[in-house]
Structure formats: C-alpha cells, structure tokens
C-alpha cells in the first residue's frame, strides 16, 4: 500500500455508515487517509465534499463505476449492500483488478447482520441455539437459504482465492438515535430500522404490536458501540493483519445483551401510554393483514437470532451498553419520532 491509504465507502450516509465514516475522519492517522464515497443524492455529495470526502454520485447498480472505485482503493467499507449480490460482484471485480496490478490483496469490510442466523419462530417461541462468531465450522452450517448468505459466500470465495481479505461485521438490532456532524448537516439518517418500525406501527394501530406471542429473542448493540467496532477492526488489521481472522474465519458479531420482542413492545407501550398516545402498555399480536401492511408479509421481527461476540471482543472491542440501555432508549426514540409525524 502507498503511504496514503485510500478508502472507498459504500452506504456512507446511512444510519451506520455516517457514524462509521465520522470515526474514520476523526482517526488519529486521518491525515494519511483519502476518502471516497458513493452517494445517490447530488446535494448530499456536495455537502460531503465540505468534510474532505470525495463524493461520487452513482448507485449500487452502476457496476463499472463501483468496480473502478474499488480498484482505486486500498480499503473498501460497505455498509449498504448486505443483500445486493450484483454490488458484491462489482466490488470483487474491482479487487481482482487491483490485485493484478499490485499483487497485494485489498481489505474489504462488509456489513452483514445477525439475521443470517435467524430462524422461523414467528414469535411463538424462543430458542436455545446460540451461534459463536469465533466458530467458523458452526457458521458454515448455515443453510444456503439464509438471508445475505449468497453475498457472503461469493465474498468468501474471493477471499479464499487470495485477492481480497474480507471481514464480515455482523450486528444484531442496532438501537439509539445517531448523532454527530453528518446528522447535524442533514446528511445522515438518525434512526435505525427495527425499533422505529415498531414505534410507527404501534402509533398507527393504536397499540404496541408483536409478531405471534413476542417470545423470540434478538441481540442488541448501541449505534455508537457498533460504529466503534469498525475502528477497532481497522486498528487490529493494521497492527497485525495475520492475527485477524478473515474469509470463512472473518465473522464478527456485534451484540451486548438480548431482548424479547414482547419486552420491547411493552416498553414501547409504556412510553406511548405516558405520552397519552395509547391506553394500554400491553402489546397485541399483529394480524396477518397488519403483517402484510407493515412488513410486506414478513415475520422477520418474530425470528430468534442468538449469538456470542467472542471473535469481536478478541480484537479489542469492549461494548458497555446493555439491554437496559436499549429499553431506556425507547421513550426518547418515541418522542423524536412524534416530532416528525
């Protein structure tokens, strides 16, 4: 690699992406970094340039553009394409070109999610199955139908061929209202997906909701600690690349505590009662009609997804926020959403 490290960010203005990009911009070695980001909105691209980010207007479907930007980079950080096989193939073609030119594998930090280990419980039961991110043999038991897995298998094959070193950042439910200069500038999303979706549907139906009985369990991680991990991973790779697992041994779960869908629903109900928006804090089951209306017919929120972040913690990640913090974050999230409805 040259003395200047060239980063290419995909999904830089998203909820996670903006938080991660801001941390790299604040890295102690940032004077030696060069940042490029792919952005759909020309107005956001212009604003990003004010933060010393070379923003290129384009989409995930611009295959040649993605390939070219990847080939020009030393490190690619993807925080928006977990389900986009076409995007993955475009980046991999770029990595191949780079390797042919330099003989050195590039670094690919790809964001996935613990939905890859989810079951089909439909909220009717919990699960005793716990997946260990430090056990690649267990991870390889995931069925080919698992969400995201087609993308990850393609990337793992590339890692095995040796022209890229791939690391899979795999968060559970990310919670908390994002903050920072990109949020303040109107460049980034400040809300996650799962909890805000439950809040908005609860407001619409007049009662907190859950899939089935809400007995399913998911892990949780605060947005700030999730974003911190990307820096911990980069620092570990820089310090001793051969000591940091990649490819089939490159999954890193981000989680620090678990919650049931029922408990989250009840906390949302409690907040809505306190704000005078509903009359009961007890969540009720979404009807099939509501599942179709709110979630496109998917019971995703009723799945179990249980894991251990042993691999992530082994490289120095030290999350502190727990499920108690998740619950405490719900009322402020409700209040913030109500401001904009």
Would you place residue 74 in the very low, low, confident or very high pLDDT band (cuts 50, 70, 90)? very high
d(CA 135, CA 148): 19
Average pLDDT along the chain: 96
Number of domains composing the chain: 2
Same structural domain, 195 and 133: no
* 64 found inside a domain: yes
> Phi, psi (5° rounding) for residue 14?
-80, 180
* 309 found inside a domain: no
Same structural domain, 202 and 137: no
Same structural domain, 119 and 158: yes
Q: What is the rounded average pLDDT of the residues 337-341? A: 90
> Phi, psi (5° rounding) for residue 186?
75, 20
Same structural domain, 130 and 244: yes
* 285 found inside a domain: yes
Q: What's the CATH code of the domain at 130? A: 3.40.50.720
* 105 found inside a domain: yes
Give burial (CB, 10 Å; 0-12/13-18/19+) of 224.
middle
Q: Specify which residues 107 forms β-bridges with.
A: 75, 165
Q: What pLDDT sits at residue 2?
A: 52
pTM value?
0.96
Distances (CA, A) of 5 to 76, 95, 113: 11, 15, 27
Same structural domain, 109 and 17: yes
d(CA 119, CA 142): 11
Would you place residue 1 in the very low, low, confident or very high pLDDT band (cuts 50, 70, 90)? very low
> Tokens 């619409």 appear where?
204
What is the extent of the structural domain holding 201? Answer: 191-218+258-304+321-339
Tokens of 238: 């820089």
Same structural domain, 135 and 37: yes
Model confidence at 57: pLDDT above 80: yes
Tokens of 88: 């993955």
d(CA 209, CA 61): 36
Same structural domain, 229 and 210: no
């Amino acid at each position: 690699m040259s003395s200047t490290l060239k980063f290419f960010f995909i999904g830089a203005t998203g909820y996670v992406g903006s938080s991660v990009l801001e941390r790299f911009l604040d890295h102690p070695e940032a004077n030696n970094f060069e940042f490029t980001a792919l952005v759909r909105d020309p107005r956001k691209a212009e604003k990003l340039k004010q933060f010393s980010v070379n923003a290129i207007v384009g989409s995930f479907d611009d295959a040649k553009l993605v390939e070219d930007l990847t080939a020009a980079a030393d490190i690619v950080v993807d925080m928006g394409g977990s389900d986009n096989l076409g995007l993955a193939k475009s980046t991999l073609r770029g990595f191949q070109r780079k390797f042919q030119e330099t003989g050195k594998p590039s670094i690919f930090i790809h964001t996935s999610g613990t939905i890859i280990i989810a079951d089909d419980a439909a909220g009717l039961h919990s699960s005793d199955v716990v997946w260990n991110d430090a056990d690649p043999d267990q991870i390889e038991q995931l069925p080919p139908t698992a969400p995201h897995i087609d993308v990850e298998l393609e990337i793992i094959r590339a890692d095995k061929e040796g022209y890229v070193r791939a690391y899979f950042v795999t968060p559970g439910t990310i919670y908390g209202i994002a903050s920072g200069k990109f949020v303040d500038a109107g460049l980034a999303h400040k809300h996650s997906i799962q909890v805000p979706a439950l809040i908005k549907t609860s407001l619409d139906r007049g009662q907190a909701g859950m899939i089935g009985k809400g007995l399913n369990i998911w892990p949780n991680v605060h947005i700030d600690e999730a974003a911190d991990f990307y820096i911990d991973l980069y620092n570990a790779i820089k310090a001793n690349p051969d000591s940091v697992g990649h490819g089939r041994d490159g999954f890193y779960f981000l989680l620090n505590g678990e919650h049931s869908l029922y408990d989250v629903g009840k906390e949302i109900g409690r907040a809505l009662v306190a704000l005078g928006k509903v009359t009961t804090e007890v969540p009720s089951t979404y009807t099939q009609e509501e599942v179709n209306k709110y979630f496109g017919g998917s019971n995703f929120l009723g799945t179990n997804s249980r894991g251990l972040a042993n691999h992530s913690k082994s490289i120095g990640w030290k999350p502190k926020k727990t499920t108690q913090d998740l619950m405490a974050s719900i009322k402020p999230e409700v209040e913030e959403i109500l401001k904009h409805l």
